[in-house]
Structure 1
């Protein structure tokens, strides 16, 4: 019996990736390339799209070679339709349209958020968890209920990843491999916890006020030697993640579920995983989390 094979493109933000996956969830290849900007700078849509355009064809060749398949063996071509940044998304969309015509393959448009969840379920084996989806552009608590994925809580302003990235710019931390990762490493050296605004509103969270507060106080506190950059990173992480654990636990109680699946780029953070694991174990549940290959 012939195995079904999909070639997938993800280009919604600063990473362009091409993957080959079989119908049963076996990942045959997963090459990608990240657009890294100088410290203190974010990535703009136009420059990010140029980066994706430069790297997408080599990634296609690499994906096919690593998977040891030919275009003839591909059954469909998938791509991230959204949500995401418009200009980067257009690059993979145009490439997919061209390949579909050249190779005579059908196109499957994929929802970015649902793909994160389904990828996490495939990789971890989680069956029916409450999902915490945390990335540079999204922060949502999601669960499958009554035949569809439903959002039980979310950010009402900026995403948690965006909050971390913007604070990394204040400290001019490197964007290699990512600003959030470098905040995580610096936070491990922090020893002093600073009180920051804690904004949980029912099932939702707000991060913009915390960011504004720590941006306003960081320079002054560092100038007066009241704390270190590591202390600021430590305090910010602990506060943001405590808020996420709280709304996730509330969703678990509401949906009567015991397990949690963390997906999205911020889900790679080991401290977030540790905090969530403690909460899950106290409720008799388990934590499932993806790593940096699939988050």
Structure 2
């Protein structure tokens, strides 16, 4: 039996997960660095948080034959904390290190959870906004943001609105948007298959200073505009690759309104959308462990040399290739409870 322990710490969450070759999750605790309203999280402060919390999310090592690391993309200081821990454990336990692209960890976790076969993937998180599809032994990016990622935009807007960061800025925008009644005209910028959010972000900042609109109406308008842009480029990608499946992954992907808008589009195309909740969309160690488990079985059974276990802040999804078996494995997903109460809590 193959067991892999995965370490995730690319942004403000630190998590360690254990997964076996059948996709059974044995542990997946997570801790989140939360800052006061109106403030973002700085790399050095977040890294210090991860240093103090990584031992809290440690799990028993018995029976594990590999440790996988979120190599990137992400915040350098945070990734470095995890890399040091993984290199140390690899030497102490005499087990191989398996590097995982953070984005592909999200995608492969989504595919196994929802059993999607050949979907167009909308990957939306704090640091990434991409429309992706698999072709010729690698995931291809059909469209992406040309400036800021959607999660980062929502975070900054939440700061302008002085919304709480607990449990996350995007979640609190989503809740406020449910009370919105009036649509405010905001820049809608789709350029071919790419999107731009800089103009919208600047417009919202100006609106916040004018104080002519309610916070609820601003949140409602922001969501409707941004998500409409994302649905548009996703539908275009579906037509291009001729698929009837959409998989939404990444932290922003658990937004219910985004899933509803995508569902409406898919119904018109006789297609199916696969959306997930915060257990799987939000960064977690299990997704790194699962991707690492697949890599261990089908690509790098001996892991990588210790000196190569480094980080890459800008590790693009389409730079990982020649792993056709890795990307075409679909098995059933199970959650095995072993008293891990942290897994079901919003952290």
Distance between the aligned counterparts of 1:20 and 1:142, measured in 2?
Answer: 27
- Alpha-carbon distance in structure 2 between the residues aligned to 1:23 and 1:240: 38
Contact 1:10 1:18 in 2 (8 A): yes
- For residue 54 of structure 1, what is the aligned residue in structure 2? 52
Partner residue of 2:218?
Answer: 232
CA contact (8 A) 2:207 2:213 kept: no
SS in 1 for 2:278: coil
Over the aligned positions, Cα root-mean-square deviation in angstroms equals 0.8
Residue deviations 1:58-92, cap 9 Å, x none? 211xx33xxxxxx2300100010000000000111
Give the TM-score normalised by the residue count of structure 2: 0.80
Of residues 23, 26, 29, the one that matches 1:25 is 23
- Separation in structure 2 between the aligned mates of residue 125 and residue 5 of structure 1, nearest angstrom: 21
Unmatched runs of 5 consecutive residues or more in structure 2: 282-347
Matches within 5 A, 1:240-259: 240-259=226-245
Partner residue in 1 for 2:261: 275
- Tell me, in whole angstroms, the C-alpha distance in 2 between the residues paired with 1:168 and 1:58: 29
1:218 corresponds in structure 2 to 208
Tell me how far 1:228 sits from its aligned partner: 0.7
Deviations 1:79-119 (A, max 9, x none): 10000000000111100011111111100010011111001
Q: Is the 8 A contact 1:12 1:89 kept in 2?
A: yes
Q: Does 1:208 align with 2:206?
A: no
1:123 aligns with 2:113: yes
Partner of 1:67: none
Aligned to 1:68: none
CA contact (8 A) 1:20 1:28 kept: yes
Q: Is the 8 A contact 1:72 1:103 kept in 2?
A: no
1:89 is aligned to 2:89 = no
Which structure has more RCO (C-alpha within 8 Å, separation ≥ 6)? Answer: 2
Shift of 1:147: 2.1
Aligned partners of 2:36 and 2:165 also within 8 Å? yes
Aligned partner of 1:294 in structure 2 is 280
For residue 92 of structure 2, give the secondary structure of its aligned residue in structure 1.
helix
2:69–2:99 contact (8 Å) kept in structure 1: yes
Pick from 122, 128, 138 the counterpart of residue 148 of structure 1: 138
Kept in 1: contact 2:37–2:163 (CA 8 A):
yes
1:161 aligns with 2:151: yes
Give structure 1 stretches of 5+ with no counterpart: 65-70
How many angstroms does 1:146 deviate by? Answer: 2.1
**SS at structure 1 position matched to 2:16:** strand
Find the residue that maps to 2:56 and give its secondary structure: helix
Distance 1:133 1:72 in 2: 34
Q: Deviations over 1:204-251 (max 9, x none)?
A: 00001100011112221x2xxx42100000000000000000000000
2:174 match: 184
Q: Which runs of 4+ in 1 moved over 6 A?
A: none
